[in-house]
Amino acid sequence: MRRTVDVLNPLLRFHLAKTRAFRSSLPKAMSAAQKSEEEWRAVLSPEQFRVLRQKGTEPAFTGKYDKFYEEGTYGCGACGVPLYKSKTKFNSGCGWPAFYDAIPGAVTQKSDRAYGMVRTEIVCTNCGSHLGHVFKGEGFPNPTDERHCVNSISLTFQKE
């Protein structure tokens, strides 16, 4: 399915255009959803491709954003679209970056029944790349009682 700026959530369009860095990457980001798996393989490292396109997981406590708390915006590691604001990041102790909410419309939740478990996968709405999983009702003291457990390799970071 092709996605263009016209069909993306208006709030997501606002966030895309908000910073100069994301504004300059907008045409690239919008065309990202149209890449074939061969094109993704050509532009991503082997580890990025394994996690982002083949739904892999990086080892816990190894990602560069696990214990990273600078102010800014986290984007998709594949297409660059903004996904999370740093103010929604928290230390869950799980070994991966944890967020309690995404930028509206940026992340899509899908049922994941792999490995005999029922979980909720999170993917980039723009390009469909795997980000990680969301867990609800764990009792974390945040406004949503959710933990978006995201692979660091699935993210980029733009400092504010």
| Cβ–Cβ under 8 Å, residues 134 and 106 | no
Tell me whether residue 85 is exposed, middle or buried, using C-beta atoms within 10 angstroms of its C-beta: 0 to 12, 13 to 18, 19 or more: middle
Cα(114)–Cα(44) distance, integer angstroms:
24
Our answer to whether residue 79 is catalytic in this structure is no
Token pair of 112, please?
A: 């994941």
- Amino acid 124 reads C
Query: How far, in Å, CA of 73 to CA of 84, rounded?
Result: 6
Active-site residue, from 79, 124, 127, 149:
149
Backbone φ and ψ of 155, nearest 5°: -125, 155
Crossing angle of helices 10-18/20-31, nearest 10°? 130
List active site positions. Answer: 149
